[in-house]
Amino acid sequence: MMEYKNRRCALCTLLAVILAVAVVSGISVWVIIHGAPRTTKYMVVLDAGSTHTALYVYKWNDREKADGRTNHHLVRRIEQIANKYCEKKGFASYADSSAIPGKLESCLAYAMEHVPTSHAPSTEVHVGGTAGLRLLRSDNMTAANGVLDAIRDGIRNYSTFQLVPENVRIISGEEEGFYGWATANYLAGTFPMFQSSNFSELVNSTISKTPYGFLQLGGASAQIAFTPPNPFREFSNDSSKYHVPADIFGEDVQLYSQSFLCHGLKEAARTYRATLIAEQNFPIVIDPCFPRGGQIETNDSHLFGHHYCSGEFNTTLKGPKGELYLVGSGDYQGCREAVFRLLKKTSCSDPDLECSLKGIRRPVIQGPFLAFSGYYHVIKVFQYLAKKNTSEHSVNLNEFRNVTKQHCSVPFEKLEEIFEKQNLTKKLINYMETFCFTAIYIDTVLTSGYGFNETTFANIRFLKDVEGTEFGWPLGLVLQVTMSRNNTKQESSTTVW
C-alpha cells in the first residue's frame, strides 16, 4: 500500500513537472508568437514657420526587448492624433520675444489633453524653426536665439513634457526637405517596410515602386527633395546631398535635397513688388500680375530696409509716411517675364548641367512627385476657377496656363462683381486677387526652376494630407528620431503593426 502511494506521489510529481514544463513552454510559445509587450509612446512637434506656428501630437507603439531596450527596427504605425495652430504670424515677426511663451500656453494645454498624464514626463517636445527663423538668424542672430529661448520658457512654464534644450532649434532647409520627403514616402507606402492601403485610391494611381519626390512651398522658402538618376559626384554643394541609411527606412537611398531661401510665396511676393518699385522708380508703379484697375497700397518698411530678401532694393519715391502705391495692369506675359527674373537664373555658368533657382546646379528631374503647402492651395484655386473636380490631384500644364492667362485678364472691377455675387470668403477673395502672380510663380518655379515639362508636370500630385495626417516635415522628424535610436543589428524580417 505504501509502495502504491509512493508510486502515486511520484506520478503526481512527474505530472506536476510535465505540467509546469508545458505551462512554461506555453508561455514561451506565446511570447514567441506575440512578441515582447508593446509600450505606447508620444511625441510633440512644433513647426515654427514664417507665417504661423503649428503643433502636432504623434502616437505609436514600441516593443520592449527582454533587456529593456526598445527594438526600433520593428516598424510602428505613427499616428497624428492632434494638431493645432498656436499663432498666425510666425515667431520671427515678433518684435518682443517675451510675448512668445504666452502664445504657446493654449497650444501646449491642448497637447497635454491628448497625452496621458503618466506619459507626459517621458514625451519629448521637438521644435523646428524653418525659413522665417532662418531669415531672422541671417539678420540678427541674437534675436533668433531670443526666440528659441522664449519657446523653451513656454514649454517649461506650460507643460510637463520632456524638454531637451537642443531639441528646440532652427533646422536647415535641406533637413526640412529630407524630413518632408520621408513623410511623403511613409504616408505613400513606397518604402518596403511601410504600407498604405488607401494611398493609391487617394491619388487615383498605383503606388510608385520608387520613392516619390517632395515639393514644398512655404512662406519664406521652397524645398525640393528626390532620388536623382546620376551619382552625386557631379554636384559640389554638399548640403544638398543626403544618404539615407538602410537601418532607418529599409532602403539605401541617395537623396538630393535643396532649399531656396526667399523663394517661398510670401517672400517672393515681397521681393517681386520691391523689384517693380525699384526698377520703375516712378510715383505710379505698374504691377502686371495684379488685376487691371486694382490698386495696392503698401509701405516702404514692409518692402525695403531690414528685410533679408528684399533689402537690396530701395526707392526715394514714397509718401510722407512711407506709403507706396501699385496699380494693376493684368498683363499675363509681362507678369511671366517679371516673375522669371525672380529666379535669378542668369548666374548659371555651367552649360553641361541642369540649372535651378539662383544658378544652383541640380540633377535631372525623374519619377513621381508629391507637392503640398503653397502648391496645394494655388491648385485648389485653379480648380475652383476651372470648375474642376476638387478630388483630382494632378494638373494638365497647358490647361493650368490657359486658366491662369484668362484670369489675369479679368479687370479688378469684374472680380469685385464676382466676389459680391458668389459671397466668397475673405480668404478665397485674397487668393483670387493674387492668383495671377501665385499661379505664374509656381509654374515658373516648377518648370524654369526645377525642369518639369508638360509630360513630367502630370506626374505631380498636389495634396494636403492622407487621412488627416498632413504632408510636411514634422512627421519625418519623428520617423528619423525614433528609428535612428537603435544599437542593435537589423532584424532579418520586419514586423509591421
220 carries a ligand binding annotation: yes
Q: Is 221 annotated as a binding residue?
A: yes
The strand order across the sheet containing 168-170 reads 79-87, 53-63, 38-48, 124-129, 168-170
Report the 10 Å Cβ neighbour count for 433: 19
Query: Which one from 87, 174, 175, 176 is the annotated catalytic residue?
Result: 176
Alpha-carbon span 181 to 403, nearest angstrom: 30
All three cell numbers of 134: 532662418
Q: Phi then psi for 259, rounded to 5 degrees? A: -120, 145
Is 236 annotated as a binding-site member?
A: no
CB count in 10 Å sphere of residue 74:
22
Query: CA-CA distances (angstroms) from residue 451 to 233, 367, 402, 446, 447?
Result: 20, 12, 20, 6, 5
> Could you confirm whether 113 is annotated as catalytic?
no
Q: Nearest-CA neighbor of 204 among 21, 459, 473, 494?
A: 459
Q: Counting beta carbons within 10 angstroms of the beta carbon of residue 141, is it exposed (0 to 12), middle (13 to 18) or buried (19 or more)? A: exposed
CA distance 391 to 380: 10
Q: What are the b/e assignments for 170-206, b being 16+ CB within 10 Å?
A: bbebbbbbbbbbbbbbbbbbbbebbebeebeebbeee
Question: Residue 330, annotated ligand binder?
Answer: no
Across the chain, how many H-helices and E-strands are there? Answer: 17, 18
Q: Under DSSP, is residue 221 helix (H, G, I), strand (E, B) or coil?
A: strand
Count of CB atoms situated within 10 Å of the CB of 300: 19
Is there a binding annotation on residue 54?
A: no
Q: Which residues are annotated as a binding site?
A: 219-223
Q: Which residues are annotated as a binding site for ATP?
A: 219-223
Q: Which residues are catalytic?
A: 176
